Structure 1
Amino acid sequence: MGKEPTHTRRRTLQSICGVAVAGLAGLAGCSSSGDSDPTTQTTDAQTQTANETQTTTTANETTTDETTEQAEETTESGLEAADFVENPEEIHPTLVEATSVPSDEVLLGFRLEDSSLPFTTEVYRAPDDAEVQATKTYDTQDLSQVDLLPESPQALDTVGTDREDIHYGTTTVGEPLKVTLVARHDGETIDWSAWSRTGYPYDGHDEEDPALEVDCYCGGMNYTAPSGGTWARVIQVTPTERVDTGTTVALNWTSSRL
């Protein structure tokens, strides 16, 4: 939008260079003519030199602009190229194979698909008294200073995949598994949102009587990761009586910067 295509800039540069070459040929012809006025030759040569300098400057500016724009296009395409798979059904067998769930509990896997973000979301058990959906930012990455975590933060166990890890824990039917999502970020402050949630064999999304009650890493909300600091949000997932005990559930949240 408003950017000149690369091939157009290149034709412009070729045309500018062509003018410069033609000017040089004309200057050589004037120098070889015995009838030319020396004063005129000197003036023409000075004018030509100035034109060549301007042409070189213009060409350099064009090259610089092209390089900058190519770098911007590479950055933009890198974001657009983030390959969101949103595949809880595909990762479910991996989670089942790598874990075990007691016959009277439900295992919940959290996969935070944040390929386009400059940090990897961490998942910790939340304090018992933490308010669900509480969200805070901190100017430190020292987790002992994050009051949405327990005094001794305990990360959920993980199962590796060829994408983001799956964080998992167990709970009983009717009891929430409450966790704190954490983003520790070293770059410039960024804003992002979680815009999709899927799950297998349940996702609890847009259902009148959901098998899972999810509160809530919510789509449509804006989150901010401060430069050199920490972002934290408390969420919970509660399996209802529609979920059989001994079941393993894979949940996937997809997020990207705004």
Structure 2
Amino acid sequence: MGKKVVLVTGASSGIGQATAELLARKGYKVFGSVRSLENAQTIEGVTPLRIDVRDDVSIKAAVDGVLQQEGRIDILINNAGYSIVGAVEETSPEEAMALFDTNVFGVLRMSRAVLPAMRGQGDGRIINLSSVLGFLPAPFMGIYAATKHAVEGLSESLDHEVRHFGIRVVLIEPSFTRTGLDTNAAPTAQRLPAYTDQFERTIAAVTAKIQAAPEPMKVAEQILQSIEQPYQMRRPGDKRAALLSKLRRFMPAGPVDKSLRKEFALS
């Protein structure tokens, strides 16, 4: 068999772009999805595809095109997503549904699109970008955290369902990373004065952590390891994520709660 064929969603920036660049350098045949081909940045060794993960028609056209050209898709990396900041009470059902449509249903649509080919070829890997917020709470990012909790449950369930076809599912769990996702998160449309003081203190604490956070390439390296090293369901995206994962599993709930409130500057 020749080069493994990889499809990366959300390859126009951040972790998706870094991952597409790294895998292309390592000799993989990489297709990187963007929502607009006209504005797509050229990445050496990466073939751009137009995919909107909210749109079944664009997904089918892109996946069919890759299969016609290459005959297989070995690895799907579900990276496309965005974030929204605001208190849960400030978040409208419409804003929440839009976020789930991309972050969760986008993963579902893409996975459903590639699974028939993966089952037919008898192997494959689906790598889903989660977050430490997939197993930890996140004040003022509650709906985003909810989408990542959903991706975690979907991924574990899917792995059990497809394992006997030779397909495995991986979760990559970064902490804060210096990407547009973390720095350019959209605010909720509604703003309630009752939350203003706490919101500003929490966002200031988060912003400071993002400024000191690892670059996207660190997460891309973990994605590469998830492909080339022995299978592991969950892979922390960086050292901080690995520490938080251990704290969540092994520390009593009380100290974890207290530590998180300190982390997010909660009164």
Structures share fold, TM-score greater than 0.5: no
- Using CA pairs under 8 Å that are at least 6 residues apart, name the structure with larger relative contact order, 1 or 2: 1
Decide which structure has greater helix share. 2
Scaled by the length of structure 1, the TM-score of the pair is 0.24
Scaled by the length of structure 2, the TM-score of the pair is 0.24
